[in-house]
Structure 1
Amino acid sequence: MTAPLKIDFVSDVSCPWCVIGLKSLERALEQLGPEVSADIHFQPFELNPQMAPEGEDIAEHIANKYGSTPEQMQASREGIRARGAELGFTFNMEKRGRIYNTFDAHRLLHWAEHEGRQLELKRALFEAYFTDGRNPSDREVLIDVASRAGLDAEQAREILASDRYAADVRQREQLFGQLGIRAVPSVIVNDKYLIQGGQPVAVFEQALRKIAAE
């Protein structure tokens, strides 16, 4: 018997650990196969909601926000790159020089959910930023990425030129904030169980198998 799993994946498109978390989750679901049927919904979280339109140098940003030294940053980058490689994702750290606001990306993800292309857009946004070093706050970039994910480019342009879905995204951000989500990725299963962080595949697999058994 297949166990249904509703999965709310709370994350930001500028969060490298969210990439690792998603890739690990997907691999765990592959390994569980017909034991489970997963319905994944990507929920918005902004790491830098007050970020200026031009963004900020990533080294300066991390040093200011976390107090990291250049050596610590380099070690962290290498760890992330290696974890990504294990999961089949390419982090080109040298291409990612700045960090940006991601609110418009979350608006498109909200729309993509209605269009049945949310997972495709999420993957495309991660690749655009972390692999190709593109700016996820640039509307022309977002339109191109949406098109690559199988969405209508003109509709994406119209959404970005308006304030459509802005209230919906804010409402969801507030909802998950009220539920105590302060860090990402946060994976909420069946509105009840929380798995936090870019966990290894085995951790997701074990947790999901246990939840499915209940």
Structure 2
Amino acid sequence: MNVQTSNSVSSNIQVAYDFICPWCWIGEENLERALVAADLSVDSHITFLPYQLNPDMPVEGMDRKAYRSAKFGSWARSQAMDAQVTAAGRAVGLKFDYERAEKTPNTLAAHRLVWREQQAGRNASSLVKAIFKAYFGEGRDIGDLNVLADIAAETGLDRAKALGFLESGEGTTELLELEAATKASGIRSVPSIHIGAHVISGAQPLEVMAQVLRQSQLA
């Protein structure tokens, strides 16, 4: 996240998230806007912590309409929830297009790709945002390894290396251990944003996040 400002937040920012969670995309957007509003930059990278909401999802994913209808009792209820989050996203400049999404994906591979970037010491914010947009805004199957490799390339990464990593299964054990530690720390929902000693649960408005950022700077 490149924010050129006069002040900084020295403490690490940790974000527990899942790519299947629309509020996580909104929360990440609000966090980025809050950094600007608070006139702050980040000395250390934002660390993204995996938290799969559907850990038992088949690798190939499931038909979205069938899955959501079963989970929420009806397709009509699912659509009502989609409309609510679409409006919330629109308010912060994010475009949700659920009609284009045919699958509810397995997100493990996407989390592994982010883990790879963080292990290399690189800021993964651009990749995270690109994956969110690909699924919620473009209806792409982010459980498909080739799709993930395409997204990686679109953010400037080497496609062949990204695909090779995804196909190798590398990082799976480490990713699952990190996820277990995240859940063991007491996090029960996402997004959960830790800024120093402060915790923000849910996609709170940018004003709330900006206030916490300022408090963290003064602590």
Give the C-alpha shift of residue 18 in structure 1.
0.4
1:90 correspondence with 2:95: yes
Relative distance call for 1:36 and 1:146 in structure 2 (3 A) is closer
- How far off its partner does 1:211 sit? 2.3
Among 77, 84, 107, which residue is 2:82 paired with?
77
Normalised TM-score (structure 1): 0.91
1:25 aligned residue:
31
Q: TM-score, normalised by structure 2?
A: 0.89
Q: Which runs of 5+ in 1 are unaligned?
A: none
- Distance (whole Å) between structure 2 residues aligned to residue 74 and residue 163 of structure 1: 35
The separation in 1 between residues aligned to 2:175 and 2:60, in whole angstroms, is 22
Alignment partner of 1:109 is 2:114: yes
Q: 1:166 aligns with which of 157, 167, 172?
A: 172
Does the CA contact (< 8 Å) of 1:4 and 1:38 recur in 2? yes
Task: Report 1:1-214 matches (<5 A).
Answer: 2-34=8-40, 37=43, 39-65=45-71, 67-113=72-118, 114=120, 116-190=122-196, 192-214=197-219
Find the residue that maps to 2:130 and give its secondary structure: helix
Moved over 6 A (4+): none
What fraction of aligned residue pairs are identical, expressed as a percent?
Answer: 34
1:50 to 1:198, Cα distance in 2 relative to 1, 3 A: same
Q: Secondary structure at the match of 1:122?
A: helix
**Once structures 1 and 2 are overlaid, which stretch shifts more, 118-127 or 93-102?**
93-102
Q: Are the counterparts in 2 of residues 93 and 130 from structure 1 also a CA contact under 8 Å?
A: yes
SS of the residue 2:186 aligns to: coil
5+ residue gaps, structure 2, are 1-6
Corresponding residue pairs, total: 212
CA distance in 2, matches of 1:8, 1:164: 23
RMSD (CA atoms): 1.9
Per-residue CA deviations over 1:47-93 (Å, capped at 9, x if unaligned) read 1111113322334333433x354443333212211121121211011
| Paired residue type of 2:88 | R
Alpha-carbon shift at residue 189 of structure 1 (Å): 1.6
